[in-house]
Amino acid sequence: AGSLDKVGTSRSVSAMSLGPASSVPSVPLVPSVGGSAPLETYEAAPSVMDSVVKVFCVHTQPNYSLPWQRKRQFSSTSSGFMVKGPKGENWLLTNAHSVEYHSQVKIKKRGDDRKFIAKVLSVGEECDIALLSVEDGEFWEGTQPLSFGDLPSLQDSVYVVGYPIGGDTISVTSGVVSRIEVTSYAHGASELLAVQIDAAINSGNSGGPVFSEHGDCIGIAFQSYAGSDAENIGYVIPTPVIEHFLIDYERSGKFTGFPSIGIQWQKVESEALRRWSKMERSQKGVMVRKVQPTGDAANILREGDILMSFDGVEIASDGTVPFRSGERIAFSYLTSQKFSGDECELRVLRDGQENTFRVKLHQYKGLIPHHLSGGDPSYLVVAGGIFTTATEPYLMSEY
């Protein structure tokens, strides 16, 4: 079986490892699939390429087993690109795992031998996006930010631009869009919309832009599928997720996350289960298996309810909703378009009767967090005993 790997950072200290989800194995020098893309044939290509930068980061990770200490520093390189804020701000986008536990971040432009100090403005762990800025005005002279395009269609040509391993200069690989669906994000342990492509995405590509054949940025390269049973499967963070992150930052000045209803559900495809739920032949939906006790839905929804629609969009018995022409997608895509604190309208079948409820959405907080959002682990020493927070990084460090 394969696994989703964060491929974004090319590490200069090979003895260190980011963990199973983001380790960077040694890669032999072989021709990349797709070859060199003819992006330079477009008139906008020179300015588009100049907007792609190389990110140099020094990381200092916590020692979860000894929470009062930090591990040895290590360096990494990845990619990023320039964008314009809603009020004319000059920003840079890259991946969250590219600047995770950063001590120092520097940016280098194409064709420039200087490195500029960057400031990390916001980090979205769930969507694996980080927002940076460079205060030195000289960095922005003669630059042109990228513009975002629409969500691509299947078989559209795409071009991955960045600074992967195997060389120091900018690299371009080409491919096509293979699939668009809700996908697991390895860094944030979340499930959000992603675009699957067959262009080569290697260590160091992470955070770099992916272009359409018209020169518009249609996403950020961030992970690939590693496994003996699959080849040339790379993933791109699409523009709807990027725009959600930027709007969230504009609204609150920080990343507040992607909300959820606060339930666990199951498909209702069994005829026996449909009869038990008192569903008519024409009715569709998914069954609520568990309701998170800390969410607003705990006061409204019950186990065994059939969730039939979300904001007027019908939910099929397999948990999918219509998506563009002739496509379907997991209905969690609808919740990911909302923001924490927003309300949604749910149509629910309960005891054979249809009801309509309004539920306030919130960010899911697990009992054992997947990450600490860049913070240090808290601990308490009592009579020689050390108590610390149970988190996934701690469990991976210990076991």
- CA dist 333 and 127 (Å) reads 13
Q: What is the C-alpha separation between 341 and 363, in angstroms, rounded?
A: 9
> Could you say which DSSP state residue 41 is in?
G
User: Exposed e or buried b for every residue in 246-278, given b needs 16+ CB within 10 A?
Assistant: bebbeeeeebbbbbbbbbebeebeeeeebeebe
Q: Is 376 in a helix, a strand, or coil?
A: coil
Catalytic residue among 22, 32, 128, 260: 128
Between the CA of residue 18 and those of 14, 61, 194, 368, 397, what are the distances in Å? 10, 10, 22, 20, 11
CA atoms within 13 A on the CB side of 276: 9
Catalytic residue list contains 128: yes
- The catalytically annotated residue of 10, 76, 78, 97 is 97
Tokens of 293: 């006790």
Token code pair at residue 141: 């002279």
CA geometry: angle 371, 204, 123, nearest 5 deg: 35
Angle CA 91–332–335, to nearest 5: 60
Task: Using only the alpha carbons of the chain, give its radius of gyration.
Answer: 22
Q: Which of 10, 79, 206, 224 is catalytic?
A: 206
Distances (CA, A) of 27 to 16, 200, 201, 255: 16, 13, 12, 34
Q: What is the DSSP string of 130-176?
A: EEEE---GGGGTT-----B-PPPPTT-EEEEEE--TT-SS-EEEEEE
Residue 307: φ, ψ to 5° = -85, 115
- Which among 310, 328, 304 is positioned nearest to 318, based on CA atoms? 328
Find out whether 283 and 275 touch, Cβ atoms under 8 Å.
no
Strand partners, 62: 70
Burial class (CB in 10 A: 0-12, 13-18, 19+), 173: buried
Q: What is the DSSP letter of 399?
A: -
Catalytic (active site) residue 206: yes
The catalytic site residues sit at 97, 128, 206
